[in-house]
Amino acid sequence: MGLVAYSPLGRGFLTGAIQIRSDLEEGDWRLVSPRFLEENSDENLKIVECLQTLASDKQCTPAQLSLAWLMQHEATIIPIPGIRSQAQLSENIAATLMR
Mean pLDDT of the chain: 91
- Count of alpha carbons within 13 angstroms of residue 24, beta-carbon side: 18
Cα Rg of the chain (Å, integer): 14
User: What is the mean predicted confidence (pLDDT) over 14-41?
Assistant: 87
User: What is the mean predicted confidence (pLDDT) over 13-31?
Assistant: 87
Residue pair 24/18 in contact (Cβ under 8 Å)? The answer is: yes
Predicted TM-score (pTM) of the model is 0.85
pLDDT digits (tens, 9 = 90+) for 41-86: 889 889 999 999 999 999 999 999 999 999 998 888 999 998 989 9
DSSP alpha helices (H): ranges in the chain? 41-57, 62-72, 86-95
Q: What is the four-CA torsion angle of 78, 79, 83, 88, rounded to 10 degrees?
A: -100
Higher pLDDT, 19 or 14: 14
